[in-house]
Amino acid sequence: MLSQKSAISYTQWEAYLAILHDKRLFIAEPEEKVARESSYCNDSAKIKRQSLHRDRLKALDRCVEITFAKADDITIELLLTEVGKPISPSLLSSSEIPNWLLAIAFSSGNN
């Protein structure tokens, strides 16, 4: 799916690693008319790479689950999923920790 010459971002690599390791992947995308921050780079090459990435995810049966108008919307939507559910003490002592919890643990560091 990816050639050796594919230019992908660190975040895109994280998505493929989550899929490879069967971790829960949340795909969020801004709504069509969302105002962008002043630092947003409207580079046509970057937009093309993002479009190719989206197509590859669709080919892997992964699709956008969260659409947002502002960053707070992403947080709210994530809290409404498994991520926001309380973690029971028995789960933490279990040797079978669910993939979604592991994905959070491994992706919560500074990027």
- Amino acid (1-letter code) at residue 36: R
Give a yes or no: residue 4 inside a domain: no
pLDDT of residue 59: 92
Give a yes or no: residue 26 inside a domain: yes
Cα separation values, 61 from 25, 56, 78, 86, 106, Å: 12, 9, 20, 28, 23
* Nearest-angstrom CA–CA distance, 52 and 44: 12
Give a yes or no: residue 89 inside a domain: yes
Give a yes or no: residue 48 inside a domain: yes
pLDDT of residue 110: 41
pLDDT tens digits for 18-32? Answer: 899 988 888 888 888
Number of domains within the chain:
1
pLDDT of residue 32: 82
SS3 32: coil
SS3 100: helix
Total residue count of the chain as it appears in this document: 111
Give a yes or no: residue 34 inside a domain: yes
pLDDT of residue 9: 84
For residue 28, report the phi and psi dihedrals to the nearest 5 degrees.
-120, 145
Give a yes or no: residue 3 inside a domain: no
Domain that holds residue 90: 10-107
pLDDT tens digits for 51-96? Answer: 888 899 999 999 888 888 887 888 888 777 766 666 555 555 555 5
Give a yes or no: residue 43 inside a domain: yes
Give a yes or no: residue 1 inside a domain: no
- Which residues lie below 8 Å from residue 62, measured CB to CB, with a gap of 6+? 15, 19, 25, 27
